A and B are shown apart, each in its own frame.
Chain A
Amino acid sequence: MNLEALFFYAFTTLALGGATLAITRRSAVHAAISLMVSLLGVAGLYLLLHAEFLFVAQIILYIGGILLLFLFVIMLVNLDAGRGLRQFHQRWPLGAAVTAIAGVAFAILWSRVQLPPTQQMPDAGNVELVADTLLQDYLVPFEVVSLLLLVAVVGSVLLARKRA
């Protein structure tokens, strides 16, 4: 077993284990922390895939942004107070079953896929590559996304505002 495989399995465990924990915890805070672990694992996977920029972006944005937001909101609505209530849906086997079926279907589909041969990445730094692609080929989506972010900001402020 080479190092890459080892790291792969470690990061995979983190990601999947964290994810599983996240969806099964009773306490919302525990779930959030588990999510953080999962996100860290995902970041590690990015690193293994030579996507350094995304690795950093993941950590900064997802963990430092979104997860923090989650934690703030959890504290804000005192979510842990509902720890005594039933956590899982009344019809949770149904949902699980459907998910399983979908999963099985996708798996079988994936097994039939024949990939084209691997191609080599251009020899440049990841960040430069990403920047080049982003700002040259996909400039318009880039600007639209910024517009989207603006809308989101305005919307969330409006939504969360206390009605005086």
Chain B
Amino acid sequence: MHYVAVSLAMLLIGTAGLLTRRNIVIILMSIELILNAVNINLVAFSKHHGNAAGQVFAIFVIAVAVAEAAVGLGILLALFRNRETVQVDEVDLLKW
């Protein structure tokens, strides 16, 4: 089951990108990577177990990812209009 290894690797890459980059868009992309990693995992196990439940779940994940990307980018746009920046460490409004 090397597919799980691939899934793990992609998960790690995505997490690293999430924790490391300053640009919000890149961070969002990293999130997509993480979601894809999860999908790979699901599909691999679907094949292993011989039913389509995993693939159905993957479809749901994709749908959620779409929704999340849309909303996230909308937030980014709103943020950009307000703060003129897309560097994530300059946006610390959640401090209090």
Chains A and B touch (C-beta atoms under 8 A apart): yes
A/B pair count, beta carbons within 8 Å: 227
> Which DSSP category, helix, strand, loop or mixed, fits chain B's interface?
helix
Given contacts A16-B6, A49-B3, A148-B67, are A23 and B21 in contact (CB under 8 A)?
A: yes
A130 at the interface (CB under 8 A from B): yes
Number of interface residues of B (CB under 8 A): 68
CA of A77 to CA of B48, assembled, Å: 44
A2 within 8 A of B: no
User: In the complex, how many angstroms separate the beta carbon of B50 from the nearest chain A beta carbon?
Assistant: 3
Q: Let me know if A88 and B22 touch, CB within 8 A.
A: yes
Indicate with 1 or 0, residue by residue over B23-35, a CB within 8 angstroms of chain A CB atoms. Answer: 1011011101100
Determine if A99 and B16 form an interchain contact, defined as CB atoms under 8 angstroms apart: yes
Instruction: Identify A46's interface contact among B22, B33, B43, CB under 8 A.
Output: B43
Interface size range of chain A in the complex: 35 or more
Within residues 3 to 25 of chain A, which ones have a CB less than 8 A from any CB in chain B?
Answer: 8, 12, 15-16, 19-20, 22-23, 25
> Measuring CB to CB, which residues of chain A are less than 8 angstroms from any residue of chain B?
8, 12, 15-16, 19-20, 22-23, 25, 28, 31-32, 35, 38-39, 42, 45-46, 49-51, 53-54, 57-58, 61-62, 65-66, 69-70, 73-74, 76-77, 79, 82, 85-90, 92, 94-96, 98-100, 102-103, 106-107, 110, 115, 118-122, 126, 129-130, 132-134, 137-138, 141, 145, 148-149, 151-153, 155-160, 162
Can you list 8 A-B contacts (CB < 8 A)? A16-B10, A39-B36, A54-B59, A73-B25, A103-B12, A118-B48, A129-B55, A152-B71
